[in-house]
Amino acid sequence: MSFWQEPAYAAFWLDVARGDLATWIQLTPYAYAAIESVHLVGVAFFFGPLFLLDLRLLGVLPRLLAGPAGRLLLRISIPAFALLTSSGALLFVPSADRYASSQVFFAKLAAMALGGVNALVLHLAAWRRIHAWGSSAGAPPAARLTAAVSILVWLSVIALGRALGYERRDPPPSDLDEILIFEPALAADD
Amino acid sequence: MHAALEAIQSSALSLWLTSSGSSVAANSKQVLETLHFIGFALQIGAIMALSLRLVGLGRGVSIDALARPVFSIAWLAFAVVAATGALQFVPIATEVFYRPSFRAKLAVLLVALATLVWLQASARRGAVAWDAAASVPRTVKLVAALSLLLWPTVIVVARLMYAFVQMAGR
């Protein structure tokens, strides 16, 4: 039995999924869609600039100075990542019980962790010596490798994120029936 | 017009997209959405990077060197976005076409595309001079600011449209 199938662990996430925040997100009209909009805007601001930087590191955009371009693009991507994690956390809450036992969700987290380690490798292996190579067209082999990994990893993260919406859903626990019975009445009040 | 929409929705392509015969067709909605997401992230993200540079961020970066790859990526990725968007439209043509949210999305998209075309034409003529002078004309900054506002709005309106379509049972 995997650790996320432990009853205590599952019960905790079920509490989160039924908590005040989850209820507010689910019952406020358009709250979920609005948070997801913010998340999607974050995806564009995160991935677009990062892709440009990766292309530069791969040597495709030789006229772009790696140092200043890297600073500009990361000044966009890093705040966008903060936006993605905070909006992502809010999207997680109403489905906490489902996501906490989802293999797709774990795969997405694992891919994100790999992306983080990859960025750290780039920083330690090549970025600290940017003054030595930043004004030439190419980039050190380590930087090229991390750029290729970065593109593959973040494309996978987007694909896994979309796959979350298509994962087969197990039927809810029987004691959820109460909540489900009340739902039409709440909807009818609008 | 409605007859054309009905023809689109009952076409062989539409039937294939909604069939579950092959595994490709059965997963076509997810595949199209994923490609649509990757496409708009690359397209809009690249445009946002250039627009932020034009309004004054990252002054050490050559606008000329940044603009060329940004416009190439933007149009290539937009081709993917438009194609996957059109394919998602096909099976729901008759109901989505009349939705105000669909029209709002297309309207905002057209204005955003106009800023893109305008910025590209301006950069082609002036980017080298802007780099040399280390300053960007005020009109260009204004249109870049508009671009920063409009493209994220396209995403938000698109997501709301998706919510309406889902509520309608699709």
- What's the pLDDT tens digit per position in B53-92? 999 999 999 999 999 999 999 999 999 999 999 999 999 9
In this predicted structure, the answer to whether residue A176 has a pLDDT above a threshold of 80 is: no
pLDDT > 70: percent of chain A: 86
User: Structurally, how many domains does chain A consist of?
Assistant: 1
Beta-carbon contacts below 8 Å between A and B: 120
For the beta carbon of residue A31, count every other beta carbon within 10 angstroms: 14
Q: Which residue range forms the structural domain that includes residue A150?
A: 3-189
Q: Using CA atoms, how far apart are residues A127 and A142, in angstroms rounded to an integer? A: 10
Between A137 and B115, residue with greater pLDDT? B115
Q: Using CA atoms, how far apart are residues B84 and B47, in angstroms rounded to an integer? A: 20
Confidence bin at A136 (pLDDT 50/70/90):
confident
**What's the pLDDT at A182?**
46
Q: What 8-state DSSP symbol labels residue A168?
A: P
Q: Using CA atoms, how far apart are residues A90 and A25, in angstroms rounded to an integer? A: 8
Nearest Cα residue in chain A from B37: A158
What integer best gives the mean pLDDT of chain A? Answer: 87
Contact A41 B34 (CB under 8 A): no
What digits encode the pLDDT tens for the residues B7-36?
999 999 999 999 888 888 889 999 999 999
Q: What 8-state DSSP symbol labels residue A138?
A: S
Q: Using CA atoms, how far apart are residues B92 and A95, in angstroms rounded to an integer? A: 28
Reported in sequence order, the residue ranges of B39-156 that DSSP labels E, i.e. its strands, are none
Contact B60 A37 (CB under 8 A): no
Nearest to B47 by CA among A158, A75, A87, A52: A52
In this predicted structure, the answer to whether residue A188 has a pLDDT above a threshold of 80 is: no
What digits encode the pLDDT tens for the residues B84-130?
999 999 999 998 999 999 999 999 999 999 999 999 999 999 999 99
Q: What number is the average pLDDT over the span A42-50?
A: 98
- A134 to chain B, minimum CA–CA distance in Å? 12
What is the value of ipTM here, to two decimals?
0.94
Nearest CB to A37; choose among B38, B44, B159: B159
Between B50 and A139, residue with greater pLDDT? B50
Contact A48 B44 (CB under 8 A): yes
In this predicted structure, the answer to whether residue A102 has a pLDDT above a threshold of 50 is: yes
Residues of A in contact with B53 (CB under 8 A): 72
pTM: 0.90
Pair of tokens at residue A71: 């600073």
Q: What number is the average pLDDT over the span A137-151?
A: 92
Nearest CB to A76; choose among B48, B73, B156: B48
Nearest CB to A162; choose among B33, B48, B159: B33
